[in-house]
Chains A and B, each alone.
Chain A
């Protein structure tokens, strides 16, 4: 009973955490883009005169989305049309289940793993969830009874297929080095040190893999510079026929996927919840200096380090989104198939040779 309630509490914690992060990302997107472009950004939404730097804009957006008219096009598949945004959102959300946000922590006599499920194929599970997100895109385009939406859906699905292959190829190097598919094990092994002082983070051993994964990950979230499936203002995307909260769910899915990519990059390439030189019983610096810390303090440090890393990566993804111009569709496909994918194969080859040589 207690185990079950602990598991449920973890699920709730992750769900609330992710939804909060996604909501805050909508605010961050506005404010960060404004600061980057010498503007102020949304700051008018207020409660009783308190503006809180525009944070209430999130609430205002939510209320607006819910009370707007929900207009549905005349379609032969009204059920699938309604289902599509929820499929998108659902598959983006369940990806978080396998991502560890901390080490095992002992609390009131219980050993709690700070991860919802420690699958031994965790990484495959996350990518499966991300791939299933295509269904949302395809269904949205297909059931909208609109040629532009249909073309948008086609663009979206072919883009996601192309870049998923790249994502798969880029992380093979990580799998070879850490010899595990469980995300928790991968993070634990990133706590090791190379030559006694360099943290063995994914970005240290796989710099090219990290870069390619980021590129493919941004393409996977369908955001600028790869936002051709949506192309809101010019070429019209798959959710043109959606309004009110159905559109809101698509919008939110974008941010959840951004958070998911940030969490994945953190887990695979930036040491997950690892803090450099922080062992289970405190800091152990390369010179032999030891600074003892309690187990709970270490856990809190690790979880907050994980949160900080995810936030910084979200910031970076938004920076990319507000800096680079959009690719043309042929450029996007050329980049995917002729540059990023072959490079990831080269990365794989070099990594396997090095791994063979080290053993």
Chain B
């Protein structure tokens, strides 16, 4: 990248330094004015900071945000999953583990006995959602706090995912 030669006034530094000080102090005074006015009860004044104070305030997640997985259910409450293994195959992190079982209803054929997602390994790429034939696995519940004290607790089983 070509850089422009600095002019004499710029190389003197002092004028540029004062320009910078002018910029930051302008931010200071305009933000300070907003903070003080809001403290005095003028709520319609814009906020003086862009901070979202996390545990109390939360960012509005966008509609396509990929949060924690869930499995959708049939009307009788059983999982809609047919254990086709498409998500397990599509998963680049190999964090999905499915054990299929014979479903009593011959129209459904199979159902998952086990459906585990290791969220400690998951890369939240969303490929499983796209691969799913039955629109069972979704990442739309907006849960972003996924934490545990051990790796074992990071593995979510079918009963956790169905909720």
Residues of A near any B CB (own CB < 8 A): 32, 34-40, 211, 319-320, 322-324
Contact = CB atoms under 8 A, between A and B. Distances in A.
Given A40-B51, A319-B25, A35 B31 contact: yes
Nearest to A331: B13
A322 B31 CA distance: 16
Contacts of A323: 17, 20-21, 23-24
Interface string B24-38: 110110011001000
A35 B17 contact: no
B48 A324 contact: no
User: How would you classify the secondary structure of chain B's contact residues: helix, strand, loop or mixed?
Assistant: helix
Contact of B17 (A37, A39, A322, A324): A324
Contacts of B20: 323-324
A36 B27 contact: yes
Contacts of B107: none
Contacts of B14: 211
Contacts of B53: 40
Contact of A37 (B27, B32, B35): B27
A34 to B, nearest CB: 7
A32 B21 contact: no
A295 to B, nearest CB: 35
B50 interface: yes
A39 B49 contact: yes
Interface in B63-79: none
Given A319-B24, A324-B20, A35 B35 contact: yes
A35 B28 contact: yes
B51 A32 contact: no
Contact of B24 (A34, A36, A39): A36
Nearest to A44: B53
Nearest 9 A-B pairs (CB), nearest first? A40-B51, A323-B24, A40-B49, A36-B28, A35-B31, A36-B24, A323-B20, A38-B50, A36-B27
Contacts, number: 41
Contacts of A39: 49-51
Nearest to B53: A40
B25 A34 contact: no
A35 B47 CA distance: 11
15 contacts: A34-B49, A35-B28, A35-B31, A35-B35, A35-B49, A36-B24, A36-B27, A36-B28, A39-B50, A319-B24, A320-B21, A323-B17, A323-B21, A323-B24, A324-B17
Nearest to A320: B21
Nearest to A225: B17
A38 B24 contact: no
Contacts of B48: 35, 38
A275 B49 CA distance: 36
A324 B21 CA distance: 8
A192 B21 CA distance: 31
Nearest to B19: A323
A349 to B, nearest CB: 20
Interface in B44-101: 48-51, 53
Contacts of B17: 323-324
B24 A322 contact: yes
A116 to B, nearest CB: 34
Given A40-B53, A323-B21, A324-B21, 7 more contacts: A35-B27, A35-B48, A38-B27, A38-B31, A39-B51, A211-B14, A319-B21
A255 B141 CA distance: 49
Nearest to B28: A36
A322 B20 CA distance: 10
A210 to B, nearest CB: 13
